[in-house]
Structure 1
Amino acid sequence: MQVVSHFLLTYWPHLVAVVSLIIGAFTAIHAAMNKNDVRAAIAWVGVILMSPLLGPFLYLVAGINRIRHDQLSTQRSRLIKDYVNHAREPFHDVASLAGAQFTSLRVLGDRISRFPLHDGNHITLLDSGDEAYPAMLQAIDSAAHCIALQSYIFDHDRIGLQFAQALQRAHERGVAVRVLIDSVGAKYSHPPIVHLLRRHGIHTELFMSNLLGLRMPYANLRSHRKILFIDGHLGFMGGMNIRESFMSSLAGRHAARDTHFRVEGPVATQLFAVFANDWEFATRERLRIEDWCRISPSAPQPQVPARCIRSSPDRFIAATHSVLLGALAVAQRHVRIQSPYFLPDQTLMGALNTAARRGIQVDIVIPGRNNLRLVNYAMTAQLAQVIAAGCRVWRSRGNFDHSKLLTIDDGWSYVGSSNLDPRSLRLNFELDMEIYDPVMAGRIAARIDREIEQSDPVTQEYLQAIPFLKQLRNRIIWLASPYL
């Protein structure tokens, strides 16, 4: 024993060096073999080799995709099969409704989404918490059979307590209730509301809360989806979390803005399929579609074709990215984008720039006041690239707007939870919806145009006038944009 102790005390620096080199080598090999993006592979291998101890730890926390493709594929395939047997025939004639240029986009969606495009959906745009939260609370209070709620952030504040009380009332009258909150988003308020929900008997779970058996969240792979599903036929989705800062009656004149959507029809069942898959992944409990999606009444008029698009770090990786590339490729007149976090990768930026160079009017609206300072710095560093190609960029003068909206040629819309940044497009679980309807596209376009009327244009002259040290700061922060 003394010999061993003496050996360890004498040679521990050498042992640490050997162990770190072995760990670094195995970690670098894992990164090289599993990263499909050559830039990500080079970056991780460089970090690991330059810092054989810290690098592997960072890669373990932020670089490994721990989602099992085979497991999720099996779950989703089963749910999709159940759903297809439950729903009506797919809708194909998008040319006469939205425009001939969208025919190929529908085909792209067929191959990416795995959800059919269905008519028979009634969709209502809800502006911020002032419209969305009362409608959601009313739906919860009217629920007679089942409620499924999923959110990235569910704050323990005044609006969060209203939702908790409504869910408690539903649970007490015998409604089946399931609540799924992201494990990182649950910690945005203290104490987390999950404890209150569980005390009320509401079946509440966290998404991706363990790391190697430890009670700590993953840095990536967040569930950013926002879903409320009621009684088999009514749903809500969009970009809005549950927090009082989006209610003007609670946050006052500083209230943030967002956009949410109330949906009835086949798309509501698609929302449930996404929720059920995430719930099964997080809890191992299977929610049978025949129990939760009973025969529902026909949706009110007008009815429009729509479908959900899931993106996530498994077999649906880059689904939204592919849809956006396809939409920009078919655009003929006007592209309108509103995004709180506009950090497109070079491929998506190339598609935007190519659209502008083809003569398409491309309007991009971003917040003048951003709730994430580092993201704002990185966005500013990147804007010159799209402005130089002819895209028009606008910084809104109002309160922070969290909306994620896109319209093409006033005929097709893309809405939901995805931001135009690497985290949303590759690392998070996101849920969006494509809508083939000129009326809805017109409403979304009008909302974006009203925002433009109250915005300041971002020009090359404006960007060049930024002091050099701030430009340097912005570029340095931009280097880390894939993980902001």
Structure 2
Amino acid sequence: MISHGSIPLLAHIVLAGGLTLRILYRKLEVNTALAWIVMLVAMPIAGPVLYLLFGDRSLGGRRLKLGRRIRTFYQNAYGVGGADEAPLQSIPEPFASLARSMTVESGFPVLARNGYAILTDPGEILDRMRRDIDAAQTSCRLEFYIVEPSGRVEAVLEAVRKAAARGVSCQILADDYGSKRFFRSPWPRRLSAAGVSIVRSLPVGVLKSVSKRSDLRNHRKLLICDRTVAYAGSFNLVDPALFKSDRHVGSWIDVMMRIEGEMVDALTCVFNADFLFEQKGADLGGALLRPLPLEAQKGRRPRGSALMQLLPSGPEMPHPTIHGFIVAAIFNARRRVRVVTPYFIPDQAVLLALTSAARRGVRVQIIVPERLDTRIGQYASQASYDDLLAAGVDIRRFTGGLLHTKAVLVDDDITIFGTVNMDLRSFYLNLELSLIMYDPRINNALGAVLDAYVGRSDVIDPDAWAARGSTQRFLENLMRLAAPLL
């Protein structure tokens, strides 16, 4: 006979046991699985609720099922896919083999005909975006984690409104959480009145969290005009002089790349897939996708010859491709590894790759901001410094603002550039977008940007760091515990 008092305990055992079995069948990393199991057992109500909200990385079965199909549709429509091995002949091993494996994973091969310009000044970035939107004749597509309608950004949004008013097909896909100020402002109504199609990416809501994890975010930053020019990188559509000025971390420092050539179509494939998933009423279950306009490219392709490969990543992909590529690239470094990222919370695989590279004589340098916009991120990032410094890694802290650029440079051969931070959220949870570039010229050009960062950075002295207070050590180790639960 079961007493009324034992019913809650029995319910807890059944629920915790069922979720524990789910965790075991997901084959998570051991520390992540153990952390969740302990939480489920120790916290009768909060543990299961937290797991249901944040434990799974799923975007929903529908998106996982149709993702590859939609990307493949546009890769074929734009002629992006294919098995052309010619560009790989100039890529040294083992990076050529890595490029082949990424082609299999993502469907995007190495593309050879690309021109580029590296932009570091926020005023120039916003001005060139505005000018390209003003020049657009057929389409204008924007996809950003954060759209903040203030300061110099308003001129860009006004350019989009005018483009739509003159008949250009304009779409804006903005993350529902990251761009909440945009959605609460008058701008969506103004833009919609002119004909701009505005869609919330990964909308947040209590009911939606039942079918998919509620804190997954679209972290991509992308602008495409007429399928002739695109912008990709770490720059959100914000005015860095105004954005989060109340956090007292200084102006946000970013890099954006303006791209022409074959890569523009590859980026368009990603945008189209993301937009169709979120657009209300899009018939994704029919016999054929409802494509966005397959307009012809205007003008001729540039004569650029930069080798680039697109790697979208996130829970919409079957495997954590960007994490595997970064780890493999660092393990295969022979001379130098340089990492710049605002949020540096590496897992054991990345930490092992960096420390082993340093111990075998590779010059490893990590550049991070002196101050972050979150205290949790600040302490969690610092938790790995002891191991890195002991291995001989050079850690620099940028003092000129919140350094938001994300890049990994390996030897003279590989550059990984885009939206990915060196943390578990970027590796596994966010929708991210990376450009992998097999071009020494790009490596050298971005290396010069990193040199400028180093000139405004303080080096962390191992002895001084070892002498920091016990309270700071405790907070670092405490915040580090939260990382596996991501």
> In the comparison of the two structures, how many residue pairs are matched?
473
Aligned AA (2:96): T
- 1:106 matches 2:108: no
8 Å contact 1:80–1:115 — kept in the other structure? no
> Matches of 2:203 and 2:341 in 1, distance apart?
28
Give the equivalent residue in structure 1 for 2:251: 255
Task: Give the structure with the larger helix fraction.
Answer: 1
The aligned residue for residue 466 of structure 1 is 468
1:413 maps to what in 2? Answer: 415
Change (3 A) 1:464 1:391: same
Cα separation, 1, equivalents of 2:259 and 2:242: 21
Kindly provide the CA deviation profile for residues 49-79 of structure 1, in whole angstroms up to 9, marking residues without a partner as x.
1112111111111112332456434342343
Corresponding residue number in structure 2 for 1:207:
201
Corresponding residue for residue 361 of structure 1: 363
Which 10-residue stretch deviates more, 61-70 or 37-46?
Answer: 61-70
Instruction: Give the conservation status (yes or no) of the 8 Å contact 1:226–1:417.
Output: yes
Name the TM-score, length of structure 1 as normaliser.
0.89
In the alignment, which residue of structure 2 is the partner of 1:159? 152
**Contact 1:246–1:257, Cα closer than 8 Å, also in 2:** no
Say which of 165, 185, 189 aligns to 1:172.
Answer: 165
Cα drift, residue 21 of structure 1: 3.8
Name the CA distance, whole Å, in 1 between partners of 2:475 and 2:315.
30
Distance 2:333 2:87 in 1: 15
1:161-310 equivalence runs, <5 A: 161-187=154-180, 191-192=184-185, 193-211=187-205, 213=207, 219-245=214-240, 254-283=250-279, 285=282, 291-310=293-312
2:49 counterpart residue number:
57
Partners in 1 of 2:266 and 2:88 — Cα distance?
23
Query: Which segments of 5 or more consecutive residues in structure 1 lack a partner in the other structure?
Result: 1-10
User: SS state of the match for residue 450, structure 1?
Assistant: helix
Q: Give the distance between the partners of 1:233 and 1:255, measured in 2 at CA.
A: 31
| Equivalence map 1:382-421=2 (5 Å) | 382-421=384-423
CA gap of 1:419–1:215, structure 2 versus 1, over 3 A, is: closer
The reply on whether 1:349 has 2:351 as its aligned counterpart is yes
The offset of 1:306, in angstroms, is 0.6
The answer (yes or no) to whether the contact 2:145–2:219 under 8 Å persists in 1 is yes
Change (3 A) 1:211 1:253: closer
Whole-Å separation in 1 of the counterparts to 2:391 and 2:265: 41
Distance 1:214 1:439, change over 3 A: closer
After superposition, the Cα gap between the structure-2 partners of 1:390 and 1:108, relative to the gap in structure 1 and judged at 3 Å, is farther
Tell me the amino acid that sits aligned with residue 31 of structure 1.
I
Shift of 1:279: 1.3
Cα distance, 1:295 vs structure 2 = 3.6
What are the Cα deviations for residues 81-136 of structure 1, in whole angstroms up to 9, with x where unaligned? 44245336666456774545532332233233320111111111111422211111
The amino acid across from 2:263 in the alignment is V
Q: Is the 8 A contact 1:340 1:402 kept in 2?
A: yes
In the superposition, relative to structure 1, how do residues 432 and 288 fare at CA in structure 2: closer, same or farther (>3 Å)? farther
Aligned equivalent of 2:138, options 131, 145, 157: 145
User: Would the alpha carbon gap of residues 413 and 60 (structure 1) be closer, same or farther in structure 2, given more than 3 Å must change?
Assistant: same
The verdict on how the C-alpha distance between 1:253 and 1:368 changes in structure 2, with shifts beyond 3 A counting, is closer
Distance 2:84 2:256 in 1: 24
Contact kept in structure 2, 1:152 and 1:224, CA below 8 Å:
yes
Cα-Cα RMSD = 2.8
TM-score, normalised via structure 2 length? 0.89
- 8 Å CA contact retained: 2:379, 2:479: yes
Asked whether the 8 Å contact 1:238–1:415 carries over to 2, the reply is: yes
Q: 1:100 to 1:348 in 2, by over 3 A?
A: same
Name the structure 2 match of 1:477: 479
- Measured in 2, the distance between the counterparts of 1:24 and 1:199 equals 50
Aligned partner (choices 116, 123, 131) of residue 123 of structure 1: 116
Q: Is 1:127–1:260's contact at 8 Å kept on the other side of the alignment?
A: yes
